[in-house]
Amino acid sequence: MSVSVQRTRAFIAACESGDIDRICALVAPDIFYHNIPMQPVNGLAAFRAGFATFLAMSDRIVWDTPLIAEAGNGAVLTERVDTFYLKNGKTLSVRVMGTFEFDAQGLLTKWRDYFDMAEFTSQMG
């Protein structure tokens, strides 16, 4: 497994832990985070605030990642199913592909996730 794939797996595991400190320790100060159907988020402070609020809705998080591959430039492409077991008793499961890019220190600098917004919102109900 390449270093970039290892970093991506570690980042996904951190997301599944729901621990925002563990997650942010893997993220660069200049993170560019873009859920493609939404406005992008720039910088660690904004990332932390938004992502912490989102994660706090769940009791348990499972991101199944059957396919993961590193492109020539070190970017890592994933195909996933992200499942959130929400505190309100609902389960939210979204089919996603996403790209992860890291800086020389191994921190996440760019993250783009592609999914259908309606699949997300219809389950948030």
110 makes contact with its own copies (CB under 8 A): no
Work out whether 86 is an interface residue with its own copies (CB under 8 A): no
Decide whether 61 or 76 has the Cβ nearer to its own copies: 76
**Please, what is the minimum distance in Å from the beta carbon of residue 36 to its own copies?**
5
Nearest Cα neighbor of 106 from 69, 74, 59, 79 is 74
Q: Closer to its own copies at the Cβ: 52 or 97?
A: 97
SS3 sequence of 76-99: EEEEEEEEEEECCCCEEEEEEEEE
Residue 64: closest CA among 28, 36, 95 = 95
Please report, as ranges, the residues that interact with its own copies according to CB under 8 A.
36-37, 67-73, 75-79, 95-99, 112, 114-119
